[in-house]
Amino acid sequence: MSVPVDLYYTDISAPCRAVLLTAESIGLKFNKKVINLSAGEQHKPEFLALNPQHCVPTMVDGDLILWESRPICSYLASQYGNDDSLYPKDPKKRAEVDRFLYFDMGTFYHRWGKFMYPPAFKGQQPDHSLLEPVREACGWLDSWLEGKDYVTGSNVTVADFSLIASLTTMTEMGFNIDQWKNLSVWAKLCKDLPGYHEANHVGAAKFGAFVKSKLQL
């Protein structure tokens, strides 16, 4: 499929990788535009004109300019997916997917970010007590995966893309998930997702190599 959808992104960013995984699954080829965050390209006037919040991913599809990775994933699945399996139309099934998307943003990756960002970007010593809430969130996710292949059941959804992009960031920075068996099995299964290596692993490994030594895990 070839449609003129622009994606402003960087592959080190977990939110961007969730969008790339979504596109791989539906066979959508973006017009990709790399934004170099460390060079401050997100603050250039032409990018601010699109997204005054200056964050990636940012997607442009005709007259729709959208940022926030999770709604971008949901939109792409709804607009370009072959069926509604990645983002169900059924309100109850969709609510389940949304719950995991919000869990990722508000709890799972948020808790990791509280631990990781100060040592990664502010030169602070890592506060390992902040890993306790991360472990709690991993435990919840592990229990919700019991008896399931993917987070909402037997088929993959955009919630898996969002969560695995977050989790890969964590593991590539040295966070060990071996104690959570269901989480480990699911993470392994996700490696078979279309385009997984290029869309997710390469960028996560790059970010991990930059941050890992600062976290002392």
Ligand X SMILES: N[C@@H](CCC(=O)N[C@@H](CS)C(=O)NCC(=O)O)C(=O)O
What are the catalytic residues? 13
Work out how close the CB of 54 gets to ligand X at its nearest, in angstroms, rounded to a whole number: 4
* Complex with ligand X: residue 105 or 202, whichever CB lies closer: 105
* Complex with ligand X: residue 25 or 42, whichever CB lies closer: 42
Per-residue b or e along 63-83, where b marks 16 or more CB atoms closer than 10 Å to that residue's CB: eeeebbbbebbbbbbeebbee
Determine how many CB atoms are found less than 10 A away from the CB of residue 39.
Answer: 9
Task: Kindly state the tokens that stand for 187.
Answer: 């993470």
CB 18 within 8 A of CB 101: no
* Complex with ligand X: residue 18 or 145, whichever CB lies closer: 18
CA atoms within 13 A on the CB side of 142: 15
Work out how close the CB of 178 gets to ligand X at its nearest, in angstroms, rounded to a whole number: 26
Q: Phi/psi zone of residue 40: left (φ > 0), alpha (ψ -120 to 50 degrees), beta? A: left
Work out how close the CB of 138 gets to ligand X at its nearest, in angstroms, rounded to a whole number: 20
Distance, C-alpha 150 to centroid of its chain: 15
Work out how close the CB of 94 gets to ligand X at its nearest, in angstroms, rounded to a whole number: 19
* Complex with ligand X: residue 19 or 180, whichever CB lies closer: 19
Work out how close the CB of 181 gets to ligand X at its nearest, in angstroms, rounded to a whole number: 28
Place of tokens 């080190």: 12
Contacts of 142 (CB under 8 A, 6+ apart): 180, 181, 182, 183
* Complex with ligand X: residue 69 or 180, whichever CB lies closer: 69
Gap between the Cα atoms of 68 and 177, Å rounded: 27
Q: Which residues bind ligand X (CB under 6 A)?
A: 13, 15, 37, 42, 54-57, 67-69, 105
